[in-house]
Amino acid sequence: MKKTVKTVIIDGQGGSLGKALVTSIKTRFPNLEVLAIGTNSMAASAMLRSGADATATGENPVIVACRTADIIIGPLGIIAADSLHGEITPKMALAISQSTAHKILIPISKCNITIVGKQDFPLGDLVDKAIENLAELLETL
């Protein structure tokens, strides 16, 4: 029996990145179960409308989901306390950072973190790269 991969997408603000990720994942991997967690209800709603299997909102769902996630996908800021305009709490950042899940982090430059050597790509290209990384990772699980 093949293992079910628990994939968690975390996003905040308006949820546009999370929405794009869910849409791309569900198009390429329709049977992959996706739990989308928004730091606010607007982000969660956007991800639910784009096809997430389940959604939740807020700090506690992030903490709980990170305990058992196999893969966590989201903007780079989800591992930095107080990023996303304060939507990422210290407890959320700690839970994500300490999770044993493989993390696919997208370097969106809106969290005051600079990745030296990173090229600037349009959001769509970053989502495509994240999905390619996910595909490679799924082959190893």
Is pLDDT larger for residue 14 or for residue 111? 14
Confidence check: pLDDT of 78 > 50: yes
**CA-to-CA dists, residue 68 to 63, 71, 72, 98, angstroms:** 10, 9, 10, 12
| pTM for this predicted structure | 0.94
Neighbours of 66 (CB within 10 A): 22
Q: What is the pLDDT of residue 15?
A: 95
Q: What is the largest CA-CA distance in the chain?
A: 44
Give the count of beta carbons closer than 10 Å to the beta carbon of residue 140: 6
CB atoms within 10 A of CB 1: 3
Does position 59 have pLDDT exceeding 80, yes or no?
A: yes
Would you state the structure tokens that stand for residue 55, as one six-digit string? Answer: 């959604």
Domain definitions of the chain by residue range: 7-135
pLDDT-derived band of residue 1, with 50, 70 and 90 as boundaries?
Answer: very low
Percent of the chain with pLDDT over 90: 87
Write down the architecture of domain 7-135 according to CATH. 3-Layer(aba) Sandwich (3.40)
- Work out the pLDDT band at 132, boundaries 50, 70, 90: very high
Cα dihedral 90/96/99/100 (nearest 10): -150
17 pLDDT more than 80: yes
The answer, yes or no, to whether residue 121 has pLDDT greater than 50, is yes
Confidence of residue 2 (pLDDT cuts 50, 70, 90): low
